[in-house]
Homo-oligomer: A and B are copies of this chain.
Amino acid sequence: MPKVTEEHKERRRQEILEGARRCFARHGYEGATVARLEEEIGLSRGAIFNYFESKEALFLAVAASLSYRMTEIWLEHGFRTLLDAIVAEDTDWLAVQLEAIRRIRTEPAFRAQAEALDEETAAGRPERMAKLREHGLREDMPIEVVATFLSLVANGLALRVTVGDQIPDLDLLAELVETGVSARGRGNP
C-alpha cells in the first residue's frame, strides 16, 4: 500500500521538522548537536538523516516550512492576520534564523543548499502572485513591487519582535499598510 507509506513518511517528516525547530530554538544552531537533535526529535540519527541529508539541510527545511506557513496565512487570511502570526512566533526560533544568516553567507556549502531550496520554492511564485491579486491591491504598481513591499514590512516586524521590541498599535499599522496598497486608496470605504 504505497499511499499509507507516503502518508507515514510525510507525518514522520513533519515530526522531525518540529523536533528540530524546538532543538535549534533552545540550543542555537551550533549548540543543536546531533545527540541533542536525536533527543528532542525522539529518533536515531540514522532515521533523521534518512529524511534530511545533513544538519544544514534540516535547518533550512525548518526555515522553509515556517516561511511557507507564513505566506499561506498572508494569502488566505490577509496581512493583519500575518502580523499577529509574526508577533506570536517563537522568538527563540526567529533568533536562531538570524544567527544562521552569517553562517549561510560565509559557508559555501550551506549557501549552495540555501540557494537550491530557494529555486525550488520559486516554482510556486506565479501561483502565489495570482492569489495576491485577489486582495484588491492598487494597480498603478507591478504586483511584484507590492508583494516585495508587504514582505519587507513583515520581515521588519519579525526582526523587531526577535530583538524584543514591543510594537504598539498593530491595528493602526496594518491599516496604514493596507490603505497604502489597496486599490481604493484611503478615505474611500
A163 at interface, CB cutoff 8 A: yes
How many residues from A make CB contacts under 8 Å with B?
47
Identify which of B102, B159, B172 contacts A28 (C-beta below 8 A): B102
Q: When A99-B99, A185-B187 are in contact, do A153 and B149 touch as well, CB less than 8 Å?
A: yes
Is A47 engaged at the interface, CB distance under 8 Å to the other chain?
no
- Whether A98 pairs with B101 at a CB distance below 8 angstroms is yes
Copies assembled:
2
Contacting residues of chain A (92-151) with chain B, CB-CB under 8 angstroms? 92, 95-96, 98-99, 101-102, 104-105, 138, 140-142, 144-146, 148-149, 151
Among residues 146 to 168 in chain A, which have CB atoms less than 8 Å away from a CB atom of chain B? 146, 148-149, 151-160, 162-164, 167-168
Give complex CA distance A185, B104 in Å. Answer: 41
Which residue of the partner chain B has the closest CB to A177? B149
B162→A145 contact, CB < 8 A? no
Q: How far is the CA of A138 from the CA of B175 in the complex (A)?
A: 13
A78 at the interface (CB under 8 A from B): no
Chain B proximity of A119: nearest CB distance (Å): 13
Cross-chain contact A162 with B101 (CB below 8 angstroms): yes
A117 to chain B, nearest CB (A): 13
Whether a CB of chain B sits under 8 angstroms from the CB of A11 is: no
Query: Cβ of A173 < 8 Å from any Cβ of B?
Result: yes
A186 touching B140 by the CB < 8 A rule? yes
- 11 A-B residue pairings within 8 Å (CB atoms): A95-B105, A141-B172, A142-B172, A148-B168, A149-B153, A151-B156, A152-B157, A153-B153, A155-B160, A176-B181, A185-B186
